Structure 1
Amino acid sequence: MDVDTGITSEVLTIKSEIKLIDIFNEIIMKKSQAIFDYVDNLKLDANIKIVVVGTYFTGIGIVKKLSEKYTNILLIDIYPHLKEMINTPIGGVVKNPVEFSSNLDLIYTGDILIDTTGFGGITIEQSGKLNVDAFIIEDPVAEDNDELLKNKNNIHDRLNSVKSPNKAILKTMGIDTKTSGTMTLAIGVLTNALNECIKREGVLYSACEMGFFEEVIFKEQNIPKFLKLTDRNALKVSTIDPFDCDEIILKELSEIKSKMM
């Protein structure tokens, strides 16, 4: 546990050893492991072509996990600069080469199609042209606790329009977030951790290092800057009674579950 003096010697600042990137990667790992297990259970050839649509952040984790066994993987995203994510620590490491393209027409070239685009992503019309061995789609809604988001969600229509003998939904939930996005879940983990910290006797306040990284990634298109920002202690607490704040973060992460439906 990292402990430092605060404004006075009577008040201490404790910092989590867990960094923001660790939180992202733990959430991504849960999702990508569920996908890997599903694909692996199909008992298909290791060279079967897998197309993953959407990089941020589920997609990048999925292709890296699948690359542990599969050798013909294509990652598609409309943002060309997201190709940089392949060679970053986000989502793990690539074991077999992963191709990248911003050409959405290539979604029809795969034997397995994994759609992580969520709200406003692949359309029902595009989905209806798919004829694949397996189709997997990520549900962008987590807990069904927001009526507007629930009504906006069209993944079941997309799923039903695809021609495939194997269809599945990746569902991630557990900490009462509105969506299942990795960024949303990470913020949920930290928000809940902040609330737990302030309940403890002796705590003055707590803060996290999370920023609005979407602007860095999509507006500034600066992946190195994003990586630098995530390489920070996730949580800091001002207290007169030190404790292990990593345990609080880990408890929140343990509540998040990813499963195939």
Structure 2
Amino acid sequence: MRCGITETVKTLESKTKVVDVIYSIVEEKTRAVKYFLEGEEFKETLIFGAYLCGNYMASSLVNDSEKVILVDIYPHLKDIVRNNKDITFMDINSFNLALRNNKLNPDLVIDLTGLGGLCPEVISNFDPEVLIVENPKGVYDRDIFQVDNSLERLKVGRRRGLLNTYRISRVSKTSGTMTLVIDTILDACHEIRELEGVLYVIPNLKYYEGFLFHEKNVKKFMGEINTPAITVSCLDEDIHPKIDEILRRNIDRVKSFVEEIDR
């Protein structure tokens, strides 16, 4: 807690950090995928898309698969991969080479690349036991619906699932993790602002994807998300617990499930 312009005004920061919101959401998506898999074990798991969810999901599946391969078109995203020794990271060149040489034979394929991501032709190279594709849509938006081809990607696999993520009683345009992080924090700010004695609320958000994809600076990205999610100017420091309670309530609105798709 710090004082504001005068000692009457207090400046509070949430204990919840941006990275905590991110991990809560990717944990929810991963939980839904593992529930769908029903404890099944695999010989080779192939996950497309390291940012933001693929990295966490790959780490969570290392005990359920003899081999986990994480593919991303951005080579520098290897630096965000947890459990490096247990996960094989491939950039697009390494992946294409392995594909041409018939080195890939996954029995579990997970596509988390979303809008503008993986083309259906790439997935058609495989015949997995299970294929899961993330549905990027969060609400009806004509332009987003026109771009989305997630169902076109679900054409192979003996068992197929569509990973859906929504927010209870709230609207997000897409199911993308960063979209959900931003909307969750902003909605929490609106609720906190209504508390008695609150002067204003600031979401501590930045253009994180600029650090990661434009500057290609993984260290800066990791540093920026490791900051308090919200700053509050108020008169009564006793509201501090309510800040994180409201954030948690909004985080808990995010729910994921995998919808079985008939062949």
Say whether the 8 Å CA contact 1:36–1:62 is kept in structure 2. Answer: no
In 2, Cα distance between equivalents of 1:221 and 1:95: 19
**Shift in CA distance, 209/68, structure 1 to aligned 2, threshold 3 Å:** farther
CA deviation after TM superposition for structure 1 residue 44, in Å: 3.4
Say whether the 8 Å CA contact 1:204–1:238 is kept in structure 2. Answer: yes
TM superposition score normalised by structure 2? 0.89
- Which residue is 2:115 aligned to? 119
Alignment of 1:91-110 (within 5 A): 94=83, 97-102=86-91, 103-105=94-96, 106=98, 109-110=105-106
Say whether the 8 Å CA contact 2:41–2:65 is kept in structure 1. Answer: no
1:165 aligns with 2:165: no
Matched position secondary structure for 2:81: helix
In 2, Cα distance between equivalents of 1:25 and 1:178: 20
- Which residue is 1:71 aligned to? 66
Say whether the 8 Å CA contact 2:132–2:163 is kept in structure 1. Answer: yes
CA deviation after TM superposition for structure 1 residue 228, in Å: 0.9
Say whether the 8 Å CA contact 1:118–1:140 is kept in structure 2. Answer: yes
The ranges of structure 1 where at least 4 consecutive aligned residues each deviate by more than 6 angstroms after the TM superposition are: none
Structure 1 portions without partners, runs of 5+: 88-93
Alignment of 1:173-184 (within 5 A): 173-174=166-167, 175-184=170-179
Matched position secondary structure for 1:125: helix
- Which residue is 1:205 aligned to? 200
Using the aligned pairs only, state the percent identity.
30
In 2, Cα distance between equivalents of 1:32 and 1:72: 17
**Shift in CA distance, 211/238, structure 1 to aligned 2, threshold 3 Å:** same
- Which residue is 2:131 aligned to? 135
CA deviation after TM superposition for structure 1 residue 223, in Å: 0.7
Matched position secondary structure for 1:56: coil
Say whether the 8 Å CA contact 1:52–1:75 is kept in structure 2. Answer: yes
TM superposition score normalised by structure 1? 0.89
The one-letter amino acid paired with 1:140 is P
CA deviation after TM superposition for structure 1 residue 95, in Å: 9.1
Matched position secondary structure for 2:2: strand
Matched position secondary structure for 1:145: coil
CA deviation after TM superposition for structure 1 residue 114, in Å: 0.4
Say whether the 8 Å CA contact 1:50–1:74 is kept in structure 2. Answer: yes
In 2, Cα distance between equivalents of 1:44 and 1:206: 46
Say whether the 8 Å CA contact 1:173–1:256 is kept in structure 2. Answer: yes
In 1, Cα distance between equivalents of 2:223 and 2:85: 26
In 1, Cα distance between equivalents of 2:231 and 2:63: 36
Structure 2 portions without partners, runs of 5+: none
In 2, Cα distance between equivalents of 1:68 and 1:21: 24
Q: Deviations over 1:97-153 (max 9, x none)?
A: 0001113435753111100011111112223333111100011112x2322112221
Q: Deviations over 1:212-258 (max 9, x none)?
A: 01010001111111111111111110011331200111000011001
In 2, Cα distance between equivalents of 1:95 and 1:70: 15
Alignment of 1:1-261 (within 5 A): 3-41=1-39, 43-45=40-42, 48-87=43-82, 94=83, 97-102=86-91, 103-105=94-96, 106=98, 109-142=105-138, 144-159=139-154, 161-162=155-156, 164-174=157-167, 175-242=170-237, 243=239, 244=241, 245-261=243-259
In 1, Cα distance between equivalents of 2:250 and 2:63: 28
Q: Alignment RMSD, CA only?
A: 1.7
Say whether the 8 Å CA contact 1:70–1:96 is kept in structure 2. Answer: no
Say whether the 8 Å CA contact 1:68–1:95 is kept in structure 2. Answer: no
Say whether the 8 Å CA contact 1:119–1:140 is kept in structure 2. Answer: yes
What is the aligned length? 247
